[in-house]
Amino acid sequence: MPFAFFFLESEGFAGLKRGIRARILETLVMLILLALLILGIVWVALALIDNDAASMESLYDLWDFYLPYLYSCISLMGCLLLLLCTPVGLSRMFTVMGQLLVKPTILEDLDEQIYIITLEEEAIQRRLNGLSSSVEHNITELEQELDNVKTLKTKLERRKKASAWERNLVYPAVMVLLLIETSISVLLVACNILCLLVDETAMPKGTRGPGIGNASLSAFGFVGAALEIILIFYLMVSSVVGFYSLRFFGNFIPKKDDTTMTKIIGNCVSILVLSSALPVMSRTLGITRFDLLGDFGRFNWLGNFYIVLSYNLLFAIMTTLCLVRKFTSAVREELFKALGLHKLHLSDTSRDPETTKPSANGHQKAL
């Protein structure tokens, strides 16, 4: 990733012939200077903090000291990022699956809604045909509004063409499955907190499994191991969804025909950091005891009781708050409206595009 970034920004040294070789040479020089800078900073920092013989000897050990320490720092930053992304993603998954699946039609007349949205599309199209090319601002707004109307019309037509099984069985089953997986994740974290308070062997550092194929790491055998795998994949997807749902990283979402190479590199770096921290988070939260193939239990900060306990508590509290906020958002907004507090914009919950439906009188109303 650093090579790709510097190669993208390089132009070649002055006086050399422009081309691929000159750009590769400049990129390699920049990487060497960056490595020397990082090693120098770590060298000075460790010399100032731990000025003893053991620390001075470790300064010369690049393979067994620098690289594991650097990877440990990257995993720690990734775990902190997962602590923000995963609770948001667990609550956001319900909305994402609701957008991908066809919802049941309860007390809704899809034919009437399609008829109204068709009339609105024709009205916007007539307004576009009547405007002159000089009014560019109004034309841009109407084109954007026309695209939103066409998108809503496509969703309504898809809901109408969907079978009864897809509408009334698949959507409730997926929602119940997501709720069960989220509840099991929170319960496992709560049990791990109790184990940390009672048993010292529950710490993630130093706990090694019997190895692949020797014995089951789960007390429930094959069923427990399969459940751990499902939960880890669920947390992985939720962390990615939560990462792109955060306001700070919302601009990182790739767009078709409108994504720069720098943004692609940034997405790759973010996914790599999250993936490197996912096994560490799974061990820290007590979801699995399997060490994978990276020997993640060697990290020093995993042996700190207060860091591990605080991480578990923050994850359980933030996940619970995000879920409560998700399922009580409609009730909270109605209470704000009843008390007259909606004008103060105290509730900043973002509405989904498909929550705005056309009403019978042609106006828009939020369900």
DSSP letter (8 states) at residue 15: T
pLDDT digits (tens, 9 = 90+) for 267-292: 888 888 888 888 888 888 888 776 65
Rounded Cα gap, residues 113 and 362, in angstroms: 9
pLDDT of residue 330 exceeding 50 = yes
C-alpha distances (whole Å) from 109 to each of 55, 106, 155, 176, 352 are 73, 9, 14, 26, 20
Q: For residue 75, count other CB atoms closer than 10 A to its CB.
A: 23
Rounded Cα gap, residues 260 and 8, in angstroms: 11
Closest CA to 300 of 100, 71, 62: 71
Percent of the chain residues topping a pLDDT of 90: 4
Torsion sign (Cα): 20, 23, 29, 33: negative
Residue 203 — pLDDT band, cuts 50, 70, 90? confident
> 61-70, 248-257, 270-279, 291-300: which has the highest mean pLDDT?
270-279
Name the least confident of 18-27, 104-113, 128-137: 128-137
Q: How many CA atoms lie within 13 A of 161 on its CB side?
A: 6
Contact 217, 209 (CB under 8 A): yes
Amino acid letter, residue 344: L
Amino acid letter, residue 135: V
What confidence score (pLDDT) does residue 258 get? 81
Tell me the two tokens of residue 341: 């507090």
Closest CA to 314 of 94, 82, 75, 92: 82
Q: Within the chain, how many helices (H) and strands (E) appear?
A: 12, 2
C-alpha distances (whole Å) from 184 to each of 170, 178, 277, 279, 316 are 21, 10, 21, 18, 12
Closest CA to 192 of 294, 312, 110: 312
Rounded Cα gap, residues 84 and 98, in angstroms: 22
Closest CA to 117 of 141, 160, 153: 153
Q: For residue 82, count other CB atoms closer than 10 A to its CB.
A: 29
Tell me the two tokens of residue 199: 């048993």
pLDDT of residue 213 exceeding 70 = no
What confidence score (pLDDT) does residue 363 get? 42
Name the least confident of 118-132, 177-191, 198-212, 267-281: 198-212
Higher pLDDT, 50 or 175: 175
Q: Indicate the average pLDDT of the chain.
A: 76
What confidence score (pLDDT) does residue 355 get? 43
What confidence score (pLDDT) does residue 351 get? 43
Rounded Cα gap, residues 92 and 139, in angstroms: 34
pLDDT digits (tens, 9 = 90+) for 154-164: 777 777 776 76
Name the least confident of 91-95, 291-295, 311-315: 291-295
Rounded Cα gap, residues 3 and 325, in angstroms: 42
What confidence score (pLDDT) does residue 356 get? 44
Contact 117, 160 (CB under 8 A): no
Closest CA to 243 of 364, 86, 97: 86
Residue 144 CA from chain centroid, whole number: 28
